[in-house]
Structure 1
C-alpha cells in the first residue's frame, strides 16, 4: 500500500484536474494527480475527439487567480462573433457583444491541457502518476486501486477528488456502492471533426469569428487554430436522413457536402478521408446527486455534471467549480468534511442552469441564427444594451463575459423578457387606444 498520509488525490489530469491540483498545491496541500492515459504531452493524441474550446471570462477568472492566464492564453485566438454560412448567399457576421469588442477565445483542448499539465508539473507539492486507471475506491477510507502497465497498485489519500470527465471512474465507484444516483440524458445527435487547413500559409476563413453552418436539424461549426487551420465539428443526427448513419460511402459523403455545405469542399481537400476515418462522439448531459460522500470524496466538472458543448461553457463551468471549492476551503479553514457539502450546495443549481441553457443554445445555433427575425431581435437586444448599460444585459453577455452565477443569469434574463413583454404590450395598448381615438374624432 502506497502511504499518502495527508495527501489529496485528484483523479483525472485533464483540464479541471490539473487546475484543481494547482489550486490545492498553492493552498499548501500535497497532491497526487492520477491519470489513466500516458502523458499526453509525449503520447500520440487520438484524432477527432477534441472539440476546440471557447474559453471565456469564467475560465479566465480561474486562471488569473493562480497567475496562469498569460501562460495559457498564448495558444488562444479571440473570436468576436459568429460568422453565419448559409447554403446560398453571402456570409453574415453577428457580434457577440453590443459594443462588438468582446471576444471568446478559441483554444484546442490538447494545448490547454498541456499548458495546465506543465503548470502542475512545476509545482513541487504535486506528483503526477500517468497510466493509472482507477479500478477501486473505498469512499469511507480513501483507499484506491489502480491498474498500471506494471500491474495493480494500491494507494490511500486523506481526500479523493474526481475530476475525470463525463465517464468518471470515481463516479462509477460511488454509483456501484450506492453512494450516488446518476441519470444521463443522451442526445440523438453525435459529433465528428474535420479540418480546414491553412491556405498559402494564411487562414482560409476569418479567424476572428466562430463560423456556423446552421441547417435546421443539424449544423457545423469551425474554430481557428494558431497554425492557421480551423477545427470543424459536425453536429448531426445519429440516424435518419442527413445523419452520420446515412453517409456510408465516399460518393454519398462528397455529394452531401456539395449540396448542404457548398463552400466547404474547396477549403477542405481531405474532407472525405477525414469524415471516414474520424470517429463519431456522443453527446449528453450527466445528472448526479450527491456530488460528495462522507466529506472525503467529491466530484467536480464533467464528472459531476457534464453538459452538451453548445454554449462553450463546459471547461469554463468546470473551472468555476474549482474556484468555488477553493472559496469554500477558505471559509472552512481547509476542513474538507465541511467544505465539500458546502461546495455542492453552492454549485449544483448553477450546473443545472447552464445545462439547460446549453441545450437551448443548440436549437439557436443550428436553426435560429439564420432567421431574419432572430437577427432583427439580436439587433434590438444590442440596442437595448447600449441604451440601458448595466440595466439590460443579454443572456450571452452574462454567460460569456461575466462571472454572474448561471442560476442568477437564468432568473435575470427571464425577468428582463417579462418586462420587455409587458412594455411591448403596454405600447401596443396605447397605440390601439390612440388609433381608436382618432377614428372617433374622424366620425364626429
Structure 2
C-alpha cells in the first residue's frame, strides 16, 4: 500500500468509479465528484449504447475481485447475427468455442459500480459542479454556476475521469506544449428499444450482437437482462439515408419498411422511441500529455475518447487503470514516475484503439453483408484453428487477449495484406480450405517475416 493521501476523482462514470475503488484499496481517502444526480435515483435511457466487456475489462475487475459481481449482470455474446434485407440471418462467431464478450446495460453497470465503491469506502458527491482546477496545487474549484462564487477543495492528487468534454482536461489544454484534437464523425446515433416478450423472454437471440448492415448506416441491438434489447441506429446526419430525412412519422415508417423490414415485429414503439430520444454525436478526442507533474492525471475518455464500433471505450479505460496500478506497484510513492510511465505506455495504445474503432464502422455497416469479406473471415478462422501458433485474427487479438492495442493493429495490418493476396487466388470460393490455400498462407507468412 502507498502512503495515504487525499485524492479527488472528477466523474462518477465507470472508469472514475472503478479507479476510486483501486485508490481506496491502496489506502487513500477518495472523494468522487459529479455534476449530475446520482444515477441510482434517475431513469437512465434515451442516449445509450450497450457496453460489451472483453478480456481487458475483465482483467481489471478480476485483479480487484469484482469480476463475479459484474458477470452476474451481463449476458454472454459469442457471435454477430447479421440481418440481410431479404430476411436472411448470417451468424459469425467471434472467437473459439467458449469465447464471448458480455453485453451490459450502461445504467445497470454504473449503478452497480457505485454501490461497490461505496461498500469499499469511497465517498461520492453528486450534483457538485467542478468548473476548474489549479493544477500545481491539485485544488478543485466548485460552485453552482461557472461565473458565480466558487469553493476551493484542496487535494493531494486529482484524477480527471469526467469524459470527452472534461473540465480537468480543459484546464490542462491551456498549457504550452499540450497537444489536443477533437473530431466529430459525420455519423450520429439514436437509441431505440426492443421490449421483452410478455413472459420476459427475449424476442431474438440474446447471445448475439445483432447488426442490420446497410452500407453507410446500420442498426445494432444488444440484449439486457430484463428480456429487452437496447438498439442503436447509426447513420449520417445529412444526405441520402440520413437523420435529416427522417423528420416525420411517414418518412420514418417507410424507411424502416424498406431497409429493416424484419424489425416491424420486434420494435412496436419505433415512432415514439425515435422522436422522443435525442440524436447523439460521436467524437474522437486525443491529447497529450495526460498528466501534470505529480498532481493531476487524465484517465478514460478524458484522455482518449473513441467511437463505439469496437466496443472498447470502457475496456480501454479499464485497462488504463490496470496499467496505472502496475505503475503504482512498481514505483510506490513516486507519483512523478508513476504518471510518466502511465502516459508514455498508454498513449500509443489509446491511439491504436481509436483507429481500430473508426475502421470497424465500415466493417460492421458494409463489409458484414459482403460475401468476399465473410469468406475472408472464414478462411482466417479455419487457418487459425489449424495453426494457432501462426495466426490469431485481429478481433481475437483485440478482444480475447491482453496484447497491446498498438501491436494488435500492426499485426492486423500485416495479416490483412496477406489475406488480400490469398483472396486473389483463382476459384478461392471453392478451394478456401484446401492444402493449396494453407500452403499459400504459410509461404506468405515466411516471406513477410
How does the TM-score come out when normalised to structure 1? 0.91
Aligned with residue 135 of structure 1, among 110, 131, 144: 131
Q: Give the aligned partner of residue 193 of structure 1.
A: 191
Q: Give the aligned partner of residue 219 of structure 2.
A: 220
Given that 2:52 and 2:102 are in contact with CA atoms closer than 8 Å, whether structure 1 keeps it comes out as yes
Q: Give the aligned partner of residue 17 of structure 1.
A: 16
1:144-183 → structure 2 map (5 Å cutoff)? 144-148=140-144, 152-178=150-176, 180-183=178-181
Deviation of 1:294 (Å): 1.7
Given that 1:13 and 1:35 are in contact with CA atoms closer than 8 Å, whether structure 2 keeps it comes out as yes
* Aligned-partner Cα distance in 1 for 2:420–2:92: 24
Given that 1:179 and 1:293 are in contact with CA atoms closer than 8 Å, whether structure 2 keeps it comes out as no
| Pair 1:403–1:309, CA change in 2 (3 A) | same
Deviation of 1:269 (Å): 1.1
* Aligned-partner Cα distance in 1 for 2:177–2:11: 20
| Pair 1:219–1:129, CA change in 2 (3 A) | same
Q: Give the aligned partner of residue 436 of structure 1.
A: none
* Aligned-partner Cα distance in 1 for 2:203–2:419: 41
| Pair 1:392–1:283, CA change in 2 (3 A) | same
* Aligned-partner Cα distance in 1 for 2:11–2:334: 22
Q: Give the aligned partner of residue 82 of structure 2.
A: 84
* Aligned-partner Cα distance in 2 for 1:418–1:49: 38
| Pair 1:92–1:425, CA change in 2 (3 A) | closer
Deviation of 1:266 (Å): 1.9
User: Alignment partner of 2:188: what SS?
Assistant: strand
Q: Which 4+ stretches in 1 moved above 4 angstroms?
A: 148-151, 418-428
* Aligned-partner Cα distance in 1 for 2:397–2:143: 43
Q: Which runs of 5+ in 1 are unaligned?
A: 432-444
* Aligned-partner Cα distance in 1 for 2:170–2:152: 18
Report how many residues are paired: 422
Look at both structures and tell me which one has the larger radius of gyration over its CA atoms: 1
* Aligned-partner Cα distance in 2 for 1:426–1:371: 18
CA-atom RMSD, angstroms?
2.0
Deviation of 1:43 (Å): 2.6
* Aligned-partner Cα distance in 2 for 1:424–1:360: 20
Q: Give the aligned partner of residue 93 of structure 1.
A: 91
* Aligned-partner Cα distance in 1 for 2:372–2:271: 35
Residues 110-134 of structure 1: per-residue CA shift (max 9 Å, x gap): 111111111110122x221111111
Deviation of 1:148 (Å): 4.5
Residues 16-52 of structure 1: per-residue CA shift (max 9 Å, x gap): 001101111111111111111111111333x211210
| Pair 1:425–1:12, CA change in 2 (3 A) | same
1:39-438 → structure 2 map (5 Å cutoff)? 39-45=38-44, 47-97=45-95, 99-124=96-121, 126-148=122-144, 152-178=150-176, 180-201=178-199, 202-418=201-417
* Aligned-partner Cα distance in 2 for 1:82–1:377: 16
* Aligned-partner Cα distance in 1 for 2:387–2:5: 52
User: Alignment partner of 1:111: what SS?
Assistant: helix
Given that 1:192 and 1:275 are in contact with CA atoms closer than 8 Å, whether structure 2 keeps it comes out as yes
Between stretches 357-366 and 407-416, larger displacement belongs to 407-416
Deviation of 1:178 (Å): 4.7
Residues 210-256 of structure 1: per-residue CA shift (max 9 Å, x gap): 00000001001000000111100000101112111111111111111
User: Alignment partner of 2:245: what SS?
Assistant: coil
How does the TM-score come out when normalised to structure 2? 0.90
Q: Give the aligned partner of residue 447 of structure 2.
A: none
Given that 2:291 and 2:298 are in contact with CA atoms closer than 8 Å, whether structure 1 keeps it comes out as yes
Between stretches 411-420 and 293-302, larger displacement belongs to 411-420
Given that 1:180 and 1:289 are in contact with CA atoms closer than 8 Å, whether structure 2 keeps it comes out as yes
* Aligned-partner Cα distance in 1 for 2:377–2:419: 14
Deviation of 1:185 (Å): 1.2
User: Alignment partner of 2:32: what SS?
Assistant: strand
* Aligned-partner Cα distance in 1 for 2:316–2:35: 23
Deviation of 1:427 (Å): 11
Deviation of 1:423 (Å): 7.7
Given that 1:84 and 1:369 are in contact with CA atoms closer than 8 Å, whether structure 2 keeps it comes out as yes
Q: Which runs of 5+ in 2 are unaligned?
A: 428-435, 437-449
Deviation of 1:426 (Å): 11
User: Alignment partner of 1:182: what SS?
Assistant: strand
User: Alignment partner of 1:234: what SS?
Assistant: strand
